[in-house]
């Protein structure tokens, strides 16, 4: 009996395959369009997932508390003396002053991220040299020396030279010498980065002596981050206090919103496709009616006819899903999601090389299946019940 059922289903599968093959132009175009929709949807999901995974891994090491001064709704520099007011708060391990700014290069039309700080004071600061492709970090006293990201190096087009100049606000030139270069592997963080000493950064941006833009605060016990943040907030009411959990949460919200937005756009495309499939599947052409009537008279049950349609849909949507997802994976991993680069990167002039490696968990695959194959099956198999309404005797007479 089992043997009979298997052989019967195989026969019906054969028939479904050969009828797909008979209409191969139509089947192939449906397959390709469907695969393309799945490709877009899956690529998007993979890029988002890979980026947010990377962000999550990396953000676990951001400063525990960041302090900034807000004035009239804008961020302002503040005197280093603020640091002294934190002395009384118990539980703070260290406070590192920093100047974080953006330098707009009018020749290359690119934004550089400039950081002035003494990296030796930071956690892991002594290991920073190991993350450089060449050279070393400038020490606190080494004025005029910078470490730059890969894209800046490329953009400056230095040739063999290791010196370049940037404009101060009064258009006088400030010379720099490259003391090190970030590795291309870390482009996703360091692509537009330029790290120098605090004094150099003040000089470049014409910030008065003793002023900084942020303070990075590290605490002894990570469980007390929120308590200490509240105490800082009380001690320095003019200061905005950002904690690591807040930044992480923000990221989740940003990524969630972003991927949700993109997914909705792409799901709309999918919905359009499914509606089209429904429309195509729900009307029976005269040829199809004739075929159904003949098969019924020849002893095919209605369930057999439904099984043919079911197999056709499973084959088309299953193949489209496999092809679309595989293509998406290849696109993201081997072509750095080049189709989505313009959207992700916006108008940036400095674009990092994306080395993305999405981890395709069973859950992600099931999610894509649920949003693609199942609607397609529903849209094509349910209208096939109409074949049950074709009377067998319409094959007679006439």
Partner 1 sequence: MSIRPALVFAILLGLLLVLEAALFVDALSRRKVEATTLTQLEVLTSALGLTDLAVSTEARYTRHPAVSDAVAPFMDHPGAIEHFPTGAFWLPPPR
Partner 2 sequence: MLIELSEVSKIYNQGHPNEVRALTDIDLRVEQGSMVCLKGPSGSGKSTLLAIIGCIFPPTSGRAAIAEKQMTRLPDRFLTLHRRETIGFIFQRFNILPELTVLDNITLPLLPLGVSPKERKLRAHALLERFGITHRAQFPAGQISGGELQRVAIARALINNQPILLADEPTAHLDTVLSREFMVIMQQLKEAGKTIVIASHDPLVFEHPAIDRIVTIKDGRIHVP
Q: Which does 295 bind (CB under 5 to 8 A by kind): partner 1, partner 2, none?
A: partner 2
CA distances from 162 to 14, 67, 127, 156, 228 (A): 69, 34, 24, 10, 44
d(CA 302, CA 386): 10
Q: Which does 304 bind (CB under 5 to 8 A by kind): partner 2, partner 1, none?
A: partner 2
Q: Smallest distance from the beta carbon of 393 to partner 1, in angstroms? A: 31
Q: Which does 398 bind (CB under 5 to 8 A by kind): partner 1, partner 2, none?
A: partner 2
Q: Which does 163 bind (CB under 5 to 8 A by kind): partner 2, partner 1, none?
A: none
DSSP state of 388: G
Q: Smallest distance from the beta carbon of 8 to partner 2, in angstroms? A: 4
Q: Smallest distance from the beta carbon of 286 to partner 1, in angstroms? A: 26
Please list, residue by residue across 288-301, b when 16 or more beta carbons sit within 10 angstroms of its beta carbon and e when fewer do: ebebbbebbeeebe
Q: Smallest distance from the beta carbon of 225 to partner 1, in angstroms? A: 15
Nearer to partner 2, 25 or 396 (CB): 396
Nearer to partner 1, 340 or 371 (CB): 340
Nearer to partner 1, 173 or 345 (CB): 345
Nearer to partner 1, 190 or 211 (CB): 190
Q: Which does 250 bind (CB under 5 to 8 A by kind): partner 2, partner 1, none?
A: partner 1
Q: Which does 149 bind (CB under 5 to 8 A by kind): partner 2, partner 1, none?
A: partner 1
d(CA 47, CA 261): 14
d(CA 375, CA 386): 18
User: Left if phi > 0, otherwise alpha if psi is -120 to 50, otherwise beta: which for 91?
Assistant: left
Q: Which does 162 bind (CB under 5 to 8 A by kind): partner 1, partner 2, none?
A: none
Nearer to partner 2, 76 or 288 (CB): 288
CA distances from 245 to 162, 251, 257, 265 (A): 40, 10, 18, 30
Q: Which positions ≥6 away from 79 have C-beta within 8 Å?
A: 210, 211, 212
User: Which residues contact partner 2 by CB under 8 A?
Assistant: 3-8, 11-12, 14-15, 18, 22, 290-291, 294-302, 304, 391-393, 395-398
Nearer to partner 2, 18 or 81 (CB): 18
Q: Smallest distance from the beta carbon of 231 to partner 1, in angstroms? A: 19
β-strands 211-212, 78-79 pairing: antiparallel
Q: Smallest distance from the beta carbon of 145 to partner 1, in angstroms? A: 16
Q: Smallest distance from the beta carbon of 54 to partner 1, in angstroms? A: 7
Backbone angles phi, psi at 138, to 5 degrees: -70, 140
Q: Smallest distance from the beta carbon of 319 to partner 2, in angstroms? A: 22
Nearer to partner 1, 293 or 340 (CB): 340
Q: Which does 385 bind (CB under 5 to 8 A by kind): partner 2, partner 1, none?
A: none
Query: Do the beta carbons of residue 91 and residue 230 sit within 8 Å?
Result: no
d(CA 132, CA 145): 15
β-strands 110-117, 193-196 pairing: parallel
């Amino acid at each position: 009996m089992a043997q009979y059922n298997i052989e019967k289903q195989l026969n019906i599968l054969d028939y479904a395959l050969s009828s797909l093959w008979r209409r191969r132009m139509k089947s192939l175009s449906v397959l390709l369009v469907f695969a393309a929709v799945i490709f877009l949807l899956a690529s998007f999901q993979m890029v988002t997932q890979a980026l947010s995974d990377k962000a999550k891994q990396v953000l676990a090491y951001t400063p525990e508390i960041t302090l900034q001064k807000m004035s009239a709704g804008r961020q302002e520099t503040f005197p280093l003396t603020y640091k002294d007011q934190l002395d009384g708060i118990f539980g703070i391990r260290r406070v590192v002053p920093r100047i974080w700014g953006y330098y707009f290069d009018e020749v290359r039309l690119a934004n550089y991220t400039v950081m002035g700080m003494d990296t030796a004071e930071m956690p892991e600061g002594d290991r920073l040299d190991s993350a450089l492709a060449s050279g070393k970090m400038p020490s606190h006293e080494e004025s005029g020396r910078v470490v730059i990201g890969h894209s800046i190096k490329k953009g400056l087009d230095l040739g063999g030279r290791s010196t370049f100049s940037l404009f101060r606000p009064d258009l006088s030139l400030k010379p720099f010498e490259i003391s090190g270069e970030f590795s291309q592997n870390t482009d996703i963080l360091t692509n537009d980065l330029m790290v120098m000493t605090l004094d150099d950064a003040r000089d470049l941006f014409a910030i008065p002596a003793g002023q900084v833009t942020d303070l990075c605060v590290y605490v002894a016990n990570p469980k007390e981050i929120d308590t200490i943040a509240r105490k800082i907030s009380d001690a320095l009411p003019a200061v905005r206090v950002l904690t690591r959990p807040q930044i992480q949460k923000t990221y989740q919200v940003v990524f969630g919103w972003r991927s949700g937005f993109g997914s909705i756009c792409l799901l709309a495309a999918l919905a359009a496709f499914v509606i089209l499939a429904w429309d195509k599947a729900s009307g029976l052409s005269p040829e199809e009616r004739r075929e159904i009537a003949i098969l019924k008279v020849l002893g095919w049950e209605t369930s057999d006819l439904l099984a043919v349609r079911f197999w056709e849909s499973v084959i088309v949507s299953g193949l489209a899903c496999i092809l679309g997802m595989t293509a998406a994976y290849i696109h993201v991993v081997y072509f750095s999601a080049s189709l989505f680069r313009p959207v992700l990167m916006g108008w940036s002039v400095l674009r990092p090389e994306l080395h993305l490696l999405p981890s395709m968990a069973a859950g992600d695959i099931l999610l894509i299946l649920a949003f693609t194959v199942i609607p397609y099956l529903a849209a094509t198999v349910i209208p096939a019940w109409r074949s049950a309404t074709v009377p067998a005797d319409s094959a007679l007479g006439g």
